[in-house]
Amino acid sequence: MCGIIGYTGNANAVPKITKGLSVLEYRGYDSVGIAARTEDGVRTVKCRGRIGMLEEKLEKDPIVGSQCAIGHTRWATHGGPSDINAHPHRAGRVVLVHNGIIENYKELKSALQKDGVSFLSETDTEVAAAVINACYAQTGDPKTAIRMATAKMKGSYAFGILFDEFPGEVWSARCGSPLILAKAKDGYYLASDMTALLPFTKEYCCLEEGQIAHLMPSGAELFDVDGAEIVPVWSVTTMTPESAQKGGYAHFMLKEIYEQPEAIEKSVSPRIINGLPDFSADGIDASFWKQVKNIQIVACGSATHAGLAGGHVLESVAGIPTASYIASEYRYHPPIAVDGTLVIVISQSGETADTLAALRYAKSKGLPTLAIVNAVETTIAREADYRIYTYAGPEIAVATTKGYCTQVTVLYMIAAAIAHSCGRIAEADAKEMVRSILEDAPEAIREMLTQTERLREIAAKIVKKDHIFYIGRGMDYAMSQEGALKLKEISYIHCEAYAAGELKHGTISLIEEGTPVIAISTEEALYDKTESNVREVHSRGAHVILLCRDDAKNPQLSADEVVLLPTKSDAGLLFASLTVVQVLAYEVAALRGCDIDRPRNLAKSVTVE
Ligand code: M6R
């Protein structure tokens, strides 16, 4: 939620900020702005809308000669999207951009108002700027002002700050929201996310909670939570600028769907020794898995769905009772933990506030925590006791595809590891699980991607509908939930997933002539039962699209459209059905002319609770 960037050095700052903002746009895209230090002081240009609108404004009235600037792309929380609410915000001698929420902004605001301070916007950010400005007026020292001011704030923040009396310097502070410091030959940078800095540098350092950074053209200082100077520890990212670009695809989402086979291979290969699952490179050995008696998976959105799918495998193969919880509920109604409970948090971004809060809650209760995360070195990855990276590469589209795909992949490998280390399956079966996820899953995805034309035809038949239903049983119900979320998230068509057997308990009354019902049926043992449910809706007028095993008998008898899935293994079927639900969502959204990579009201990284 919201992306911030800053630069100071010996190069032209404005194109760097706008370039970085265009990459950060996935974090929020309802307004955008820049504040650049010029010979005449700090100049701010901001507007409601996207980076293109800011660029148009800057073309008409350029900022020249600036080598120090901060920028922001917004996902509105306090105050709707507008020119006035857009960041940066100025208060007195301070100009600031902010990612996060100042929860006690109302108290802070009324205290400042009593002192005669007035405000232009409805934002909590302008209040933060005013608090820092008031402290700066007392001390004249940026670092002390930031420390004094942040001590008064409750909530989360990553700030980029310019002080009028300190030209060429960017100050920054972090609590709860991500912030990366980076160095290059031409100066120093800060950003919410490393992908925004890939065009400029690969050397970075993650700010820890409570740290303050001071960027100058010739160096950067870092201060710990007590204000003592510490030496930044620089790392080099393996990401490339190309990995954060569309590479010829119409949308990031499509590119990321096509990247899934490789993403699976990358997530699985480092975790195989002698054909068996092995997480020792992640610091987890067989004895760790042997202690696990119960698993609570905690995540948000699609990551929760990955937990549901993974939970099926963990229960059916490894025999471990597993439940998947919505992170924003977990703290308020915590499930009962038993001896041997492991909490697995799943997050593509590694920064989702609800998931992070649930992780912290689990840790506070003394439960061991394992994070499955894609973005390396992120807060969730760093705070969990153990971490397993999914190696999907940067995921830019708001709708997750390869992120989800690799989360399920890792859970599948964990299930194989637990089942094998606890002697619940034979070595040959564990090897077969690994082989099937490494070979059949990518192959099944590639095979389904040869059928995009057919899926586009199906999409054309449902594109004008107002309501669509997904149904399935067992693992297929978990996949239905992911399919329904994907479809409604990017096409804005109302879509719900139901356990196939549950329809007749109420929902079937919604079926009328032509209502699309997408039925998934991959489990042989459940095929006949799901087929009965398909017949029930078909005979009541539903337009049934059946995704089923390619060895199913006469599937066309009960469905209007049939998509056959290659039946090599459970893993192959799982990822074949995933590909179909993703491509269907994509094609429907494309036919409706939706903004696929940036659906309305959403942001990629949800860093507010
Ligand atoms: O970064 P995370 O995996 O923690 O994000 C969790 C959800 O916000 C995310 O999966 C969301 O549901 C997706 N936009 C769905 O496509």
Same domain, 172 and 145: yes
The mean pLDDT of 483-500, rounded to a whole number, is: 97
31 SS3 class: strand
Buried/exposed 67-80: b ≥16 CB within 10 Å, e otherwise: bbbbbbbbbbbbbe
Q: Separation of 364 CA from ligand 1 center, angstroms? A: 24
Chosen domain end from 223, 243, 263: 243
Same domain, 381 and 466: no
Q: What span, in angstroms and rounded, lies between the C-alpha atoms of 547 and 495? A: 17
Per residue in 195-243, pLDDT (tens digit) is 899 999 999 999 999 999 999 999 999 999 999 999 999 999 988 888 7
* Cβ contacts of 605 within 8 Å, gap of 6 or more: 1, 26, 27, 178, 192, 193, 349, 351, 352
| Residue-level pLDDT at 465 | 96
Same domain, 45 and 111: yes
| Residue-level pLDDT at 171 | 98
CA dihedral (42, 45, 46, 52) positive or negative: negative
Inform me whether the pLDDT recorded for 608 exceeds 80: no
Same domain, 12 and 51: yes
Same domain, 82 and 218: yes
pLDDT band for position 528 (50/70/90)?
A: confident
pLDDT band for position 27 (50/70/90)?
A: confident
| Residue-level pLDDT at 299 | 98
608 occurs within a structural domain = no
Burial of 273 per CB tally in 10 Å (0-12, 13-18, 19+): exposed
Chosen domain end from 243, 274, 304: 243
| Residue-level pLDDT at 149 | 98
Same domain, 537 and 393: no
| Residue-level pLDDT at 28 | 83
| Residue-level pLDDT at 551 | 92
Q: Separation of 359 CA from ligand 1 center, angstroms? A: 16
Same domain, 258 and 359: yes
Inform me whether the pLDDT recorded for 377 exceeds 90: no
pLDDT band for position 387 (50/70/90)?
A: very high
Q: Is 604 a catalytic residue?
A: yes
pLDDT band for position 527 (50/70/90)?
A: confident
274 occurs within a structural domain = yes
Beta strands in 304-445, from DSSP E residues, in sequence order:
322-326, 341-347, 369-373, 386-389
Nearest to 73 by CA among 598, 609, 590: 598
pTM of the model: 0.84
Per residue in 338-348, pLDDT (tens digit) is 899 999 999 99
Same domain, 304 and 437: yes
- In which order are the strands placed within the sheet that holds 386-389? 322-326, 294-299, 341-347, 369-373, 386-389
Per residue in 174-191, pLDDT (tens digit) is 998 889 999 999 999 999
Residue nearest to atom 10 of ligand 1 (CA): 302
Per residue in 272-301, pLDDT (tens digit) is 999 999 999 999 999 999 999 999 999 999
Which one has a higher pLDDT value, 557 or 189? 189
Inform me whether the pLDDT recorded for 558 exceeds 90: no
Q: Which atom of ligand 1 is nearest to the CA of 302?
A: 10
pLDDT band for position 601 (50/70/90)?
A: confident
| Residue-level pLDDT at 262 | 96
| Residue-level pLDDT at 31 | 94
- Residue 301 φ/ψ region, left for φ over 0, alpha for ψ in the -120 to 50 degree band, beta for the rest: left
Same domain, 86 and 147: yes
For residue 215, what are the β-bridge partners? 170, 220
Inform me whether the pLDDT recorded for 244 exceeds 80: no
202 occurs within a structural domain = yes
Set 2, 135, 495, 548: catalytic member: 2
Q: Which domain holds residue 151?
A: 3-243
> What are 589's two structure tokens?
């959204």
Q: What span, in angstroms and rounded, lies between the C-alpha atoms of 539 and 512? A: 10
* Cβ contacts of 413 within 8 Å, gap of 6 or more: 267, 268, 271, 277, 279, 434, 437
Nearest to 237 by CA among 279, 170, 183, 186: 183
pLDDT band for position 606 (50/70/90)?
A: confident
- CATH code of residue 590: 3.40.50.10490
Same domain, 198 and 258: no
**DSSP secondary structure, 194-207, as one string:** GGGGTTT-SEEEEP
Nearest to 215 by CA among 147, 271, 143, 144: 143
Judge contact between 271 and 277, C-beta under 8 A. Answer: yes
* Cβ contacts of 418 within 8 Å, gap of 6 or more: 289, 292, 314, 318, 320, 424
Among the ranges given (39-48, 174-183, 243-252), the one the predictor scored with the smallest mean pLDDT: 243-252
15 preceded by a cis bond (ω within 30 of 0): no
Intra-chain end-to-end CA distance of the chain, in Å: 11
The mean pLDDT of 376-394, rounded to a whole number, is: 93
**DSSP secondary structure, 446-486, as one string:** HHHGGGHHHHHHHHHHHTT-SEEEEEESTHHHHHHHHHHHH
Tell me how many domains the chain contains.
3
The amino acid that residue 584 corresponds to is L
CB-facing half-sphere around the CA of 139: CA atoms within 13 A: 16
Residue nearest to atom 6 of ligand 1 (CA): 300
604 occurs within a structural domain = no
How high is the mean pLDDT of the chain?
A: 95
- CATH code of residue 218: 3.60.20.10
Mutate which of 298, 408, 491, 606 for ligand 1? The one with the most ligand atoms within 8 Å of its CB, which is 606
Q: Which atom of ligand 1 is nearest to the CA of 398?
A: 14
601 occurs within a structural domain = no
For Cα atoms 421, 370, 274, give the angle at the middle one, nearest 5 degrees.
35
Per residue in 78-115, pLDDT (tens digit) is 888 899 999 999 999 999 999 999 999 999 999 999 99
Same domain, 238 and 251: no
Same domain, 416 and 463: no
User: What residue ranges line ligand 1, CB within 6 angstroms?
Assistant: 300-303, 347-349, 352, 355, 398-400, 403, 485, 489, 606
* Cβ contacts of 477 within 8 Å, gap of 6 or more: 471, 497, 498, 499, 500
609 occurs within a structural domain = no
Judge contact between 495 and 510, C-beta under 8 A. Answer: no
| Residue-level pLDDT at 555 | 85
3-state helix, strand, coil in the chain (%, to 5): 45, 25, 35
pLDDT band for position 331 (50/70/90)?
A: confident
Inform me whether the pLDDT recorded for 605 exceeds 80: no
Whole-number Cα distances in Å, 160 to 87, 156, 218, 541? 11, 14, 18, 57
Q: What span, in angstroms and rounded, lies between the C-alpha atoms of 581 and 583? A: 6
Quick one: angle between helices 570-591 and 475-491, nearest 10? 20
Q: Separation of 97 CA from ligand 1 center, angstroms? A: 24
Chosen domain end from 402, 417, 443: 443
* Cβ contacts of 342 within 8 Å, gap of 6 or more: 292, 294, 295, 296, 367, 368, 369, 370
Q: What span, in angstroms and rounded, lies between the C-alpha atoms of 209 and 39? A: 34
Q: Which atom of ligand 1 is nearest to the CA of 401?
A: 16
Place of tokens 């510490």: 230
pLDDT band for position 553 (50/70/90)?
A: confident
| Residue-level pLDDT at 466 | 95
Measured in whole angstroms, the distance separating CA 609 from the mean position of its chain's CA atoms is 14
| Residue-level pLDDT at 557 | 81
* Cβ contacts of 102 within 8 Å, gap of 6 or more: 108, 124, 125, 127, 128, 153, 154, 155, 157
Measured in whole angstroms, the distance separating CA 57 from the mean position of its chain's CA atoms is 30
Per residue in 411-459, pLDDT (tens digit) is 999 999 999 999 999 999 999 999 999 999 999 999 999 999 999 999 9
Q: Separation of 80 CA from ligand 1 center, angstroms? A: 23
Residues above pLDDT 90, as percent of the chain:
87
The mean pLDDT of 368-381, rounded to a whole number, is: 93
Q: Which atom of ligand 1 is nearest to the CA of 604?
A: 14
| Residue-level pLDDT at 147 | 97
Q: What span, in angstroms and rounded, lies between the C-alpha atoms of 176 and 150? A: 12
Residue nearest to atom 7 of ligand 1 (CA): 301
pLDDT band for position 337 (50/70/90)?
A: confident
* Cβ contacts of 185 within 8 Å, gap of 6 or more: none
Measured in whole angstroms, the distance separating CA 87 from the mean position of its chain's CA atoms is 23
| Residue-level pLDDT at 292 | 97
What are phi and psi for residue 144, nearest 5 degrees? Answer: -65, -40
602 occurs within a structural domain = no
Inform me whether the pLDDT recorded for 193 exceeds 80: yes
The mean pLDDT of 156-161, rounded to a whole number, is: 96
606 occurs within a structural domain = no
Pairing mode, strands 322-326 and 294-299: parallel
